[in-house]
Amino acid sequence: MISIIDYFEDKANKYPNNALIWEKVDGVYHPTNYQDSLDLVQTYAAGLMSLGLQKGDRVSLLSEGRRDWLIAELAILYAGAVNVPLSTKLEEANDLFFRIHHSDSQLILASPFHIHKIRKIQAQLPRLDRVIVFGQLDDWQEKETSWQDIYQKGKEFLKNSPEALQERRQSVKPEDMANISYTSGTTADPKGIMLSHRNYTANVEQAFSFIDIPATFRTLVVLPWDHAFAHTAALYAFMYHGASIAAVQAGKTANETLKNFANNILEVQPHVLMSVPALAKNFKKNIEKGVKAKGRLAWLLFKTALAHATGTMAQETIKAEV
């Protein structure tokens, strides 16, 4: 049995130069390879330890999908702590406050798009020690610090106490808790589902008994990264053979991010897309609308090709079952 950290280090050793994460910066997608990702994870883990983060402590993560979402989670786990991934759709008054308070989170990592939510409830969170912000702010408030500052603290920590990080990393076991993933709370207070490192690595191993994702494959992760399906099937599954993931360019609103998605597909050219029924239905609707706009002939050709493709797949499924 292996932990997420065992799993990640193994992939970084096997595929050091493969791109792990693609993120759009200044209008262009840039990759971060497996080895550089491991270096970042170790340095940020050391930075979190320099703040006093102990094994088993909880850290809430509130951000849209980005390179540093994955780096942050792995750094939290590397330091022996527990990540509490939070949906960016949560409102601060009840849902967000409940999860941060209930999980006993001592640190919060948040993107600039959502820092205002934390500020509104910060006074009600007595256990909160620090709010770490991905990127820069125009105005910094009490207890807030930048993700870049944590990186610098990590470099200093490694310089002075290199053995401390390795001791902490060696203490991480497969049965240790990795995440507290909250239910929606539609009918009652949300329930915090405690997921171990082994829950994740076992799911990935089992998935690859049915599927295969070559090292050359890319996926564009449009689902929220805190989503249990995206978390496992995209972020960790694509590491299995050294494949890569790309983040959708974040917008100030969910609708703006979805608009970016169409352009990002053309830029990333993913081999696989993870979806849920509502998103797939909307995606299909927009494709059909675009085809219809090209005229009756284009629509007829599209429907004929689609019928042929689905018919062929149905025949192949029947043959396989026989």
The CATH number linked to 124 is: 3.40.50.12780
Distance, CA of 271 to CA of 118 (rounded, Å): 37
Does residue 258 fall inside a structural domain?
no
Same domain for 296 and 150? Answer: no
Strands 19-25 and 28-33: what pairing? antiparallel
Same domain for 290 and 237? Answer: no
Same domain for 242 and 281? Answer: no
CA angle 251, 215, 268 (to 5 degrees): 30
Distance, CA of 79 to CA of 74 (rounded, Å): 9
Distance, CA of 110 to CA of 107 (rounded, Å): 10
Residue 321 is predicted with a pLDDT of: 39
Which of 226, 247, 268 is the last residue in one of the domains? 247
Q: What SS3 string covers 144-202?
A: EEEHHHHHHHHHHHHHHCHHHHHHHHHCCCCCCEEEEEECCCCCCCCCEEEEEHHHHHH
Distance, CA of 77 to CA of 177 (rounded, Å): 9
Does residue 269 fall inside a structural domain?
no
- Ranges in the chain, pLDDT < 70: 254, 310-322
Same domain for 305 and 237? Answer: no
Residue 67 is predicted with a pLDDT of: 96
Same domain for 182 and 50? Answer: yes
Which of 247, 267, 289 is the last residue in one of the domains? 247
Q: Which residue is associated with the tokens 């829950």?
A: 199
Distance, CA of 201 to CA of 205 (rounded, Å): 6
Does residue 302 fall inside a structural domain?
yes
**Tokens, residue 298:** 């284009």
Query: Do 220 and 21 form a contact (C-beta atoms < 8 A)?
Result: no
**Tokens, residue 181:** 């993933």
**Beta-carbon count within 10 A of 142 CB:** 7
Does residue 237 fall inside a structural domain?
yes
Same domain for 203 and 242? Answer: yes
Does residue 265 fall inside a structural domain?
no
Distance, CA of 247 to CA of 69 (rounded, Å): 10
Same domain for 293 and 238? Answer: no
Same domain for 90 and 43? Answer: yes
Query: Residue 44: in which H helix or E strand, if any?
Result: helix 34-50
Question: Angle at which helices 34-50 and 162-170 pack, to 10 degrees?
Answer: 100
Same domain for 219 and 308? Answer: no
- In the chain, where do the E strands start and end? 19-25, 28-33, 58-62, 82-86, 105-110, 130-133, 144-146, 177-182, 192-196, 218-221, 244-247
Same domain for 241 and 285? Answer: no
Q: Which domain covers residue 150, as residue numbers?
A: 4-247
* Domains of the chain: total: 2
Does residue 141 fall inside a structural domain?
yes
Q: Model's pTM, two decimal places?
A: 0.89
How does pLDDT run across 257-277, given as a tens digit for each residue?
778 888 899 999 999 988 777
Same domain for 218 and 302? Answer: no
Distance, CA of 79 to CA of 46 (rounded, Å): 7
Strands 130-133 and 144-146: what pairing? parallel
Distance, CA of 280 to CA of 294 (rounded, Å): 22
* Amino acid found at 28: V
Same domain for 13 and 135? Answer: yes
Residue 311 is predicted with a pLDDT of: 63
